[in-house]
Amino acid sequence: MSVLNSIIQEVKKVVVGKDQMIIKLLMVILAKGHILIEDIPGVGKTTLALAFSKAINLDYKRIQFTPDVMPSDVIGYMSYNRQKNEFEYIKGVGMCNLLLADEINRTSSKTQSALLEMMEERKITVDGVTRNLPNPNIVIATQNPIGSAGTQLLPESQLDRFMIKMSMGYPDINGEIQMLKDRNGENPMNNVNAVATAEDIVKFQNAVDKVYKNDAIYDYIARIVKATRENPYIKLGVSPRGTVALVSLASSCAFLSGRNYVIPDDVIKVFPDIAQHRILLSSQAKLSNLSSADILKRICVEVPAPRV
């Protein structure tokens, strides 16, 4: 656990006043998930991803999504080598441990779909040949709020592949002052040291997989997810993929808390992050002026938690 604390401390050198966001992202990494960060430009989305890649010493790639980015830019392509008289595979940016997909909602749906197999199967297929991605494999995607110039909605099928969606928000006044001091004449990113390796992360991920879940926890997770599908304020509930993600993230939450077993509080803590981007509100919710956060909070209160 000291290694995980060291990762958090290294990232905090450049991401000031966002401790919960750092812990949340680490939790998703240990749960083998992908993360979508939706926020306005300039709040540190790219900095957060880069700091993690340096602290964990991962093979890091970044791609700026624009309307002219092609699927082959992401997954790679086959090119004819005259000297060898054969076709060879040219890697795309997706062939790495940590991919930062910047402004994902500015590119075409065809290019967005290139990420689907990569995110779900940890594999890419080019010209009928399937290749495994390096382990671990994490996608951190950013998007500007819908309504910004040149943006388009991500389809539900792709949103569902992100374990959580979060927003960083503006720093508080003390955090912003500290940020200015840290950048007075130097780049604080240069002070981030590698305190873990990809092998360490894989080891922690395997430990998270082994975190014990009592049958009562599985029942509780199933009931709380079912409640999203039967709620009159929700027209599209959490998918089965979301249920699996909830189990994984609750296990990661327990592991980071120093336990090898899941308790109901772990489920309640991560449930809104899992569910918020997976549900669609009904017109009744909009008429009642209820947000998705309000409805999910009600569900947590109404579904009785087991005693474990």
Listed residue (242, 96, 87) closest to 161, CA to CA: 242
Structure tokens at 227: 């409640």
pLDDT the model gives residue 159: 86
**Beta bridge partners of residue 102, listed in sequence order:** 64
pLDDT the model gives residue 301: 93
DSSP letter for 165, please: E
pLDDT the model gives residue 178: 77
Low-confidence ranges of the chain (pLDDT < 70): 1, 42-43, 146-151, 185
Q: Are 112 and 179 contacting, i.e. CB atoms less than 8 angstroms apart?
A: no
Burial class from Cβ neighbours inside 10 Å (0-12, 13-18, 19+) for residue 159 reads middle
Structure tokens at 244: 């699996």
pLDDT the model gives residue 158: 81
Q: Are 79 and 87 contacting, i.e. CB atoms less than 8 angstroms apart?
A: yes
Domains and CATH numbers, the chain: 2-198 (3.40.50.300), 210-302 (1.10.8.80)
pLDDT the model gives residue 199: 93
CA dist 219 → 229, 274, 298 (Å)? 16, 17, 19
Give the separation between CA 268 and CA 305, rounded to whole angstroms. 9
Listed residue (51, 43, 49, 47) closest to 11, CA to CA: 51
Quick one: three-class SS letters along 17-86? CCHHHHHHHHHHHHCCCCEEEECCCCCCHHHHHHHHHHHHCCCEEEEECCCCCCHHHHHCEEEEECCCCE
Give the separation between CA 165 and CA 276, rounded to whole angstroms. 8
pLDDT the model gives residue 113: 79
pLDDT the model gives residue 147: 54
Q: Are 6 and 57 contacting, i.e. CB atoms less than 8 angstroms apart?
A: no
Stated pTM of the model: 0.90
Q: Are 18 and 7 contacting, i.e. CB atoms less than 8 angstroms apart?
A: no
Listed residue (109, 106, 100, 229) closest to 157, CA to CA: 109
Look at strands 280-281 and 98-102 and give their pairing.
Answer: unpaired
